[in-house]
Amino acid sequence: MDNATSDPVTMKVFQKGQVVIPVALRKKYGIEIGNHVEIIETPQGILIKAKPQKEDKKSLTQKLYGIFADVATARPSLKKDDITKATELGYIEGWKE
């Protein structure tokens, strides 16, 4: 979607005016949960622009988001005890907020 020849993506507007940004575009432009985007009115319509994020401003929850993705893919039977042990190990190894 870097140029005018990209195919448009049609999305539904929900009750509170919310629109879902497709995952491929979120990854491409570095938009993560909790990030802010800018809405800019242009002569062609509305532009949604990713706002640069400061890495050091992320909360511990944001840093840990998705940390178990590889384990969950490799082990579909991941249990609460496994997650608890991995989290405790992370704190022991010195995760920083």
CATH level 2 (architecture), domain 1-52: Ribbon (2.10)
pLDDT digits (tens, 9 = 90+) for 60-84: 766 676 666 656 565 556 677 877 8
Q: What is the pTM of this model?
A: 0.48
> Closest by alpha carbon to 35, among 46, 20, 45, 50?
50
